[in-house]
């Protein structure tokens, strides 16, 4: 509960629920519906940049490959 969790899906990382809300404020990406649940995703090439943005803002980030 103390980390933002990035789930890896192919070439993308996605976040759900509270993680989506926290990330969207800082990363400012489009939120999309997916199988009845909203998600926020970005291409894997942006992982390091987005991890830095979140950690600089005081969040912990965990990654599920």
Encoded tokens for 54:
């979140």
Output the pLDDT for position 31.
Answer: 79
How large is the average pLDDT for residues 7-20?
89
Number of independent structural domains in the chain: 1
Output the pLDDT for position 18.
Answer: 86
Residue 28 DSSP SS3:
coil
Give per-residue pLDDT as tens, 14-59: 888 888 888 888 887 777 777 778 888 889 999 999 999 999 999 9
Output the pLDDT for position 10.
Answer: 92
**Model pTM score:** 0.83
Output the pLDDT for position 47.
Answer: 94
Q: Which domain holds residue 17?
A: 3-64
Q: What is the CATH number of the domain that holds 46?
A: 3.40.1170.10
Asked if 29 and 41 touch (Cβ cutoff 8 Å), the reply is yes
């Amino acid at each position: 509960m103390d980390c933002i969790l990035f789930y890896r899906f192919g070439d993308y990382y996605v976040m759900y629920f509270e993680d989506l809300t926290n990330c969207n404020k800082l990363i400012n990406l489009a939120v999309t519906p997916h199988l009845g649940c909203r998600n926020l995703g970005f291409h894997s090439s942006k992982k390091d940049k987005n991890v830095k943005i979140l950690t600089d803002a005081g969040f912990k980030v965990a990654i599920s490959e």
